[in-house]
Copies of this chain bind each other. A is one copy, B any other.
Amino acid sequence: MSEKIGFLVIGHGSKLPYNKQAVTEIANMITENHPEYVVKVGFVEHSEPKVKEALMSFEGTGVTKISATPVFLASGVHLTEDIPDFLDLDPETNQGEVELDGKKVRIVYAKPLGSDRLIADLIFKRVQEAL
């Protein structure tokens, strides 16, 4: 069986609109570049929909595997505690499963952005714009 992959793109959320806007734009870019994936967006706090609601919105899409994908720079308490709790991930394996349309669908947990050179290059670009 060929897999149909869901991207659960997870943002922090904010009282201001900019985090939701940036995370949604990033999700839209992924959708444009990779239309074979089903992309949903959810937030840890302040913004809607929340992570669990976004997870359940894969109902009816036929995904066979979901990557929970934090749009966070680095791991912190949200990534080590809150998101695994929302998604009921096994703390040993960092994986879980959710029942969608009567079938169990596996959830894997992607790493945050981290200290990739792409980030350093983007930071440098932002400084050049400001100077």
Contacts and interface: CB of A to CB of B under 8 A. Distances in A.
A83 interface: no
Nearest to A68: B130
B19 A124 contact: no
Contacts of A115: 21-23, 25-26, 29
B122 A118 contact: yes
A107 to B, nearest CB: 10
The oligomer's copy count stands at 2
A15 to B, nearest CB: 6
Measured as residues with beta carbon below 8 angstroms from the partner, the interface class of chain A is 35 or more
A19 B76 contact: yes
Contacts of A73: 11-12, 19, 22-23, 71-73
Contacts of A22: 73-74, 112-115
Nearest to A121: B118
A98 interface: no
Given A108-B131, A110-B129, A111-B130, A123 B16 contact: no
A60 to B, nearest CB: 22
A7 B125 CA distance: 12
A19 B74 contact: yes
Contacts of A5: 127, 131
A65 interface: yes
